[in-house]
Amino acid sequence: MVLEISAERRRDGSFAGSIEDNDAHAFRGRLDMQLAMTNGSSKTLLPSGRLRPWVTSVTVMSVGSMPERTFTRLPNGNSSLVMCVDDEAVKLVAVGPNDRASYKRSSSIPFYARLSFRPGAARTLLGVVASDLANRMVSVDDLWGNRATRLREALHVAGRNEDAAVRVLESVLLERLETSRDVQAATHGMQLAHRALEALDCDDPSSVNDLASRLGVSERRLRQFFSDEIGVSPKRMARIARIRRAVSRVGRVGWARLAADTGFYDQAHLNAEFRALLGVSPTNFARGNLPLPAPLHALRDVCPT
């Protein structure tokens, strides 16, 4: 369950947050948005001090019954560690970057915690190159073996106590950092990832070679770095950054202006990218006419997305 935004149909058939009322609140790519719902709570916390260079945020939430709605996970280049407690069963998964949106219909959210990693941190914290997680959710048992079993037992003891569960999750990541032999190299990698993603988010360099030149690395090195540490290619990440910029501005201006402001060649290019990465046209996305939910790969018996 990696949730970002929801669009809720009103009685008159329009959608809260749609372009129809010039309100873009339902379209901001923030995981913590619209999760303070009836019978539930959501918090986004800072990680503990030693983890802050590696983990951007900790999100915990639990929502009881609510009217069924569609949740959207936008394309993104992040990896994370996710825990769900559903019917007292503890499920642990590593969530990789996704280059297409995914959708989920749900009327409840179990107790849930997510530790979001900085780009470039996944290999050190999870022990797997990021490309192996791309468009997937992988059981932590497959990554950590017996250590995952012990972690699940500790989380079962913590139950639905938010502070206790987060402490357990943070402790296992700190343990991995303390036993890692490549912390210094990974730190340099995260710095390179930050510079690369900042460049892609700001102005979408015209070529991979252009981006490599800005960063002072070879094109081959940059491609390999993106595969191992981020999980998607530089070009794919540029498309993800651009579509996220567009989604964050839906409802503020007309489509032609939106396309020009967010790095698309024209409105036709914007339409094509919405269909390719989000599965729907810009107009249908804004109105909440979303595709039928479809799972990411390897989602059996893990948290719903």
List the one residue out of 256, 253, 288, 280 whose CA is nearest residue 269.
256
What span, in angstroms and rounded, lies between the C-alpha atoms of 73 and 80?
A: 13
Amino acid at 188: H
pTM for this entry: 0.78
Number of domains in the chain: 1
Q: What residue numbers bound the domain in which 186 lies?
A: 1-305
Residue 54 in contact with residue 187, Cβ under 8 Å? no
Confidence band, pLDDT 50/70/90 cuts, at residue 175: very high
Sheet holding 40-45, edge to edge: 40-45, 55-63, 109-117, 80-86, 89-95, 137-139
pLDDT tens, position by position, 217-240: 999 999 999 999 999 999 999 999
Q: Which two tokens stand for residue 217?
A: 């690395």
Q: What percent of the chain has pLDDT over 90?
A: 51
Residue 286 in contact with residue 298, Cβ under 8 Å? no
What span, in angstroms and rounded, lies between the C-alpha atoms of 149 and 164?
A: 17
Q: Which two tokens stand for residue 80?
A: 């994370």
Intra-chain end-to-end CA distance of the chain, in Å: 4
